[in-house]
Each structure stands twice: as C-alpha cells, then as structure tokens.
C-alpha cells in the first residue's frame, strides 16, 4: 500500500487542528505517516535540542539513534542544508549513520516553524532500495508546512 496523500493530509489536519505542542504534533504525524505506507519501515522525528544537535523525538518502528549532530548523516545534512534529502541507496551516502542494518533508502525533510527556524527533521527509512521520489518529498513537505508552519 502506498500513501494516499490527499486523504492523509486531511486526516492529519483534522487530528492536529489547534494543537501547538511540537512533540504532540510530531507523535501524531509519526503514527499516521508510518501506518499509511508499506514502504515506511521507520518513521520519526529528530528534534533540534541545542545548536547543531538533534535528539530523537517521537517515532514508529525499531530503535533509532539517540543523538545526531548536524555534521553527520542524512538527518544532519537535511538540518544543516535545510533541504530535503532523497537517498536511493544509503550505502552510497557519505557519512550515513546506520541506526538500522535493514535500511536501504531514506527521505529526510527539514521541519520549520513559522519563523523559518529548523526545529527538527522528519526521517523516513525504507528496507526497499530507491523507495522514495519527488512526489513523496513534495507531499510530505506540504504536510509538514501545514502542521508546523503556524507554530
């Protein structure tokens, strides 16, 4: 099953309407996204907790890394560059952090608040190679903007 982004967007909007707590929003999105698509093997957030450093936030799936600096890995690259990272093969990504040996591909999107500050990243791993495309990136970015853009 692949995500029906139109329905998913409406469901997430209804579930998060009026909520301003970042962790509550992240927990809700992680759950809804994770169960919406068979490609999503690990779905979660890393939160910016101090300059140039993220710690694990709400997630679904196996264990994740506890701490990720902006200088390392796919998540760090997304936070550092403030750009979505679409990685077809994690083994080919320089400095990839292997939190799980089953991960083959990954998409990581920066999460911005209303002021345009990066407050974290959304990390989705797949045990399938080349699992994500630009449509995933665009749809997920729109969901993040609608959910966190008012904070």
pLDDT digits (tens, 9 = 90+) for 73-88: 999 999 999 999 999 9
**Once rounded to an integer, what is the mean pLDDT over residues 8-22?**
97
Q: Give the model's pLDDT for residue 21.
A: 97
pLDDT tens, position by position, 92-118: 888 777 777 788 999 999 999 999 999
pLDDT, the chain, mean: 95
What phi and psi, each to the nearest 5 degrees, are found at residue 14? -65, -40
Q: Give the model's pLDDT for residue 61.
A: 95
In this model, does residue 52 exceed pLDDT 80?
A: yes
What percent of the chain clears pLDDT 90, i.e. is strictly above it? 89
In this model, does residue 66 exceed pLDDT 80?
A: yes
For the chain, the structural domain boundaries read 5-148
Measured CA to CA, the distance from residue 57 to residue 38 in angstroms comes to: 22
Residue 47 exposure: Cα atoms within 13 Å on the Cβ side:
14
Annotate the chain with DSSP letters as a single string. ----HHHHHHHHHHHHTT---HHHHHHHHHHHHHTT-TT-SEEEEEEEEETTEEEEEEEESS---SEEETTSHHHHHHHHHTS-EEES-GGGSTT---S-TT--EEEEEEEE-TTS-EEEEEEEEESSTT---HHHHHHHHHHHHHHHTT-
Q: State whether CATH 3.30.450.40 applies to domain 5-148.
A: yes
In this model, does residue 148 exceed pLDDT 80?
A: yes
Question: Cβ of 79: how many Cβ atoms within 10 Å?
Answer: 27
What percent of the chain clears pLDDT 70, i.e. is strictly above it? 100
**Once rounded to an integer, what is the mean pLDDT over residues 130-141?**
98
């Amino acid at each position: 099953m692949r995500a029906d982004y139109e329905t998913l967007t409406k469901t997430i909007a209804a579930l998060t309407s009026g909520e301003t707590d970042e962790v509550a929003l992240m927990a809700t999105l992680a759950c809804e996204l994770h169960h919406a698509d068979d490609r999503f093997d690990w779905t979660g957030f890393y939160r910016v907790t101090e300059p140039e450093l993220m710690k694990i936030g709400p997630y679904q799936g196996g264990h994740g890394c506890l701490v990720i600096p902006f200088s390392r890995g796919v998540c760090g690259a997304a936070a550092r560059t403030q750009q979505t990272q679409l990685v077809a093969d994690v083994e080919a990504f320089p400095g990839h952090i292997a939190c799980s040996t089953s991960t083959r591909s990954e998409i990581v999107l920066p999460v911005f608040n209303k002021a345009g500050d990066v407050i974290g990243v959304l990390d989705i791993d797949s045990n399938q190679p080349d699992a994500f495309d630009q449509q995933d990136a665009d749809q997920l970015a729109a969901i993040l903007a609608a959910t966190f853009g008012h904070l």
